[in-house]
Structure 1
Amino acid sequence: MSASLELAAASGVTGNLGAVAYGLAAIGPGVGIGLVFGHSIEAMARQPEAMPIIRQNMFLGFALCEVLALIGLVVPFIFS
């Protein structure tokens, strides 16, 4: 057992620590996705003629943030 799991077992923590880890890992991508969409909507409102370029960059930023969430979902299952 790793030191963190031994500490959790000694302190009486029961349950799936992977679920807690994923919950904490989902905070960052959630904030990132909100910022990506919020700033892209603001940019489209300021410059409607640049909408295709802004939309393309918006979806690229969304995909990169979502990858972080998927990595956060997979890692607890790998290390458990």
Structure 2
Amino acid sequence: MTVERCIRILAGFVVMLSLALGVEGSPIFVNQWFLALTAFAGFNLFQSGITGFCPPAFLFRKLGIPDGGGHCGSGKCQ
């Protein structure tokens, strides 16, 4: 598992959890303000794509998770 993959997993988890907690039809609905967490995750992904700055990447590297080293140009993301 690489840093890039962990970031995708974390972002997907945050979006799904915040939707489950913020949408009124959900069985675990708490408050609509949890939808702000969805917006924050989207904004963080957007700015990370532009600037290359991603705070969770620092955390994952400190935890010893290796960088990918590969690229998606070949069609096989690592």
Q: Sort the TM-score into its range (normalised by shorter chain).
A: 0.3 to 0.5
* TM-score, L = length of structure 2: 0.41
Q: Which has the higher helix share?
A: 1
* Greater RCO, 1 or 2 (C-alpha within 8 Å, sep 6+): 1
* TM-score, L = length of structure 1: 0.41
